[in-house]
Amino acid sequence: MSDRNARTTPTIDNPQREAPRRVIEWAQAPPIPPGATGVVTIDLSQIRANWRALAKRVAPAGCGAVVKADAYGLGAARVIPALYHAGCRNLFVATLAEAKAALAYAPGATVYVLDGILPGAARELAGIGARPVMASIEEARAWAALAPPDSPAPPAALHVDTGLNRLGLSEDEFAALISDAELMRRLDIALIMSHLACADEAQHPMNREQLDAFKRMRSKLPKARASLAASDGLMLGKEFHFDLVRPGYALYGGQASPQRVTPVEPVVRVSARILQVHEVPAGGRIGYSATYRAASPRRIATVAAGYADGVFRHASASNETPGGAVAVRGKLAPIVGRVSMDLITVDVTDVGDPAPARGDFVDLIGPDLPLEAVGLSARTIGYEVLTRLGTRFYRHYVDIGD
Ligand SMILES: *Cc1c(COP(=O)(O)O)cnc(C)c1O
């Protein structure tokens, strides 16, 4: 996850990946309300298929699922039961509120809380049966304090930092923790985990350094299960799988590793409607601050999607700087001018017959516009594209069974 913004591939013009095999066709299928300006279509059966494909790839290691941030913006209430149905029993969320929701959607699942124990929150976490991922000795103490005399506190996980310097105990702190016999007696550490900084670059030397540090630490807690890899890490090979992998993005169809094609397919399509098509003469200005000037007569479609719907304002285009695009019947039509709150303007001059018309749908994310390309064109990553999807579009869940 080191330098994703600097990726050179894929780009809008050069997606460098084979087109998704399973074209998501259902965006325009009924029952879309006539007043819906856009549709987010989410294929729950494909999320299950993606989970199964990853589970198969890492077996005999186990495969969990990261469902934080409302299942990466796709709707935890629908995604979590689908994953549970596929056999997924280990869920990772960020917060206490997300853990509560996850346990309501998947009673019986083991839910790990990546943000650990906030001051004063231990009792409530234990009360709902969630497992905090403890990242400090203070958190371990707060959890141990819940233990009745002579028995350990409920199972929890331990986050050790192997070089990301984000969350977790350093190797020294870890050594101090495990040498505190009194404290350790009151803890039941079911999982030891760490997180990789550069797993999206298979050749990066940090992968090996972090792997070695993780092996050193986990060997001192032989009874705990161990977890190191997320979506990109699990593509680094068996050595990185340990007992449990924790993919998020890949379940949602994301290609986290630019060098290795993860065996998953897209699950989300986002389409929005054209409100108006008009001809702009040569010299005409388009959008706020008149940042775009038509060099020749252009046909411009105004689409009912803006930054409130998750179209990044960084996807705006001036004459000097190209921005994002939408896909119209398999052709990319560039955004021209500024992205505003509710609207974008796209140049559909070259789309061909029949000319795009009022009420037609265009894709913001879809078979011709993979998440990675959409992220790149807004100077961000597909992860942020997903988690910023707005709530205004009609949400259509598809499930064609196993
Ligand atoms: C978000 C997160 C994951 C999932 O990462 P993906 O790249 O989406 O697979 C795994 N582990 C930790 C600690 C995370 O914060």
The domain that holds 118 is classified in CATH as 3.20.20.10
Q: Which of 220, 252, 284 is at the close of a domain?
A: 252
Q: Which residues contact 235 (CB under 8 A, 6 or more apart)?
A: 199, 202, 256, 257, 260, 262
Residue 206 CA: distances (Å) to CA of 26, 186, 197:
42, 34, 7
Whether the per-residue pLDDT at 27 is higher than 70: the answer is no
Q: Is 4 in the pocket of ligand 1 (CB under 6 A)?
A: no
User: Do 121 and 229 have their domain in common?
Assistant: yes
Kindly state the tokens that stand for 226: 């161990």
Our answer on whether the CB atom of 93 is closer than 6 Å to any ligand 1 atom is no
Helix axes 171-178 and 137-144, enclosed angle (nearest 10): 30
- Identify whether residues 77 and 215 lie together within a single domain: yes
Cβ partners under 8 Å of residue 353, min gap 6: none
Express each pLDDT in 61-105 by its tens digit.
999 999 999 999 999 999 999 999 999 999 999 999 999 999 999
The whole-model pTM stands at 0.93
- The half-sphere exposure of 10 on its side-chain side, counting CA atoms within 13 A, is 23
Q: 352 falls in which pLDDT band (50, 70, 90)?
A: confident
182 vs 23 pLDDT, higher one: 182
Q: How many angstroms does the Cα of residue 186 sit away from the middle of ligand 1?
A: 28
- The average pLDDT across 236-256 equals 97
Mean pLDDT over 165-179 rounds to 98
For the chain, what percent of residues have pLDDT higher than 90?
A: 87
Active site residue 100: no
Ligand 1 centroid to Cα of residue 213, in Å, is 19
Residue 264 φ/ψ region, left for φ over 0, alpha for ψ in the -120 to 50 degree band, beta for the rest: beta
User: Is pLDDT of 8 > 70?
Assistant: no
Residue nearest to atom 3 of ligand 1 (CA): 230
Per-residue pLDDT, averaged over 173-190, amounts to: 97
Query: Residue 28: which pLDDT band, with cuts at 50, 70 and 90?
Result: low
Angle at 333 between CA 332 and CA 335, to 5 degrees: 130
Query: What is residue 25's predicted lDDT score, i.e. its pLDDT?
Result: 56
Percent of the chain with pLDDT over 70: 93
66 C-beta closer than 6 A to ligand 1: yes
Question: Do 215 and 155 share a structural domain?
Answer: yes
pLDDT band at 17 (very low <50, low <70, confident <90, very high): very low
3 state SS of 143: helix
Which residue has the least CA distance to atom 11 on ligand 1? 230
Q: What is the mean pLDDT of residues 345-363?
A: 95
Residue 52, classed as helix, strand or coil, is helix
Kindly state the average pLDDT of the residues 353-363: 94
- Three-state SS for 135? coil
Is 49 found in the same domain as 37?
no
Q: Are residues 277 and 248 in the same domain?
A: no
User: Is 91's C-beta closer than 6 angstroms to any atom of ligand 1?
Assistant: no
| 275: three-class secondary structure by DSSP | strand
Residue with tokens 């506190």: 153
pLDDT at 29: 61
Question: Poorest-confidence range of 134-138, 148-152, 378-382?
Answer: 148-152
Q: Which helix (H) or strand (E) holds 174?
A: helix 171-178
Beta carbon of 194 within 6 Å of any ligand 1 atom = no
Same domain, 239 and 355: no
**Do 49 and 74 sit in the same domain of this protein?**
yes
Count of structural domains within the chain: 2
Domain span at 236: 44-252
In terms of domains, do 110 and 25 share one?
A: no
Q: 174 and 148 in one domain?
A: yes
Is residue 190 within 8 Å of 131, Cβ to Cβ? yes
Question: Both 194 and 334 in a single domain?
Answer: no
Mutate to test the pocket of ligand 1, among 161, 191, 240, 246 (most ligand atoms within 8 A of CB): 246
Same domain, 217 and 325: no
Quick check: bond before 354 cis, omega within 30?
yes
Please tell me the predicted confidence (pLDDT) of residue 218. Answer: 98
Which of 18-22, 87-91, 325-329 is predicted least confidently? 18-22
Whether 1 shows a pLDDT value over 60: the answer reads no
Quickly state the pLDDT bin for 32 (edges 50, 70, 90). confident
Name, in order, each residue with C-beta under 8 angstroms of 261's C-beta and a sequence gap of 6 or more.
17, 18, 255
- Rounded to the nearest integer, the mean pLDDT of the chain is 92
pLDDT greater than 70 at residue 261:
yes
Q: Does residue 356 have a cis peptide bond before it, meaning omega lies within 30 degrees of 0?
A: no
C-alpha span between 195 and 72 (Å, rounded):
18
**Average pLDDT for residues 109-137, to the nearest whole number?**
98
Q: Which two tokens stand for residue 267?
A: 């699950």
* For range 359-368, the mean pLDDT: 95
When pLDDT is averaged across residues 303-323 and rounded to a whole number, the result is 97
Domain co-membership, 175 together with 288: no
Q: Comparing 2 with 377, which gets the higher pLDDT?
A: 377
Q: Answer with the one of 215, 232, 252 that is the final residue of a domain.
A: 252
Domain boundary among 205, 234, 252: 252
User: Is a pLDDT exceeding 70 seen at residue 30?
Assistant: no
| Virtual torsion, Cα 343, 363, 41, 229, nearest 10 deg | -100
Q: 56 Cβ partners below 8 Å, 6+ apart?
A: none
Task: Give the CATH number, domain containing residue 373.
Answer: 2.40.37.10
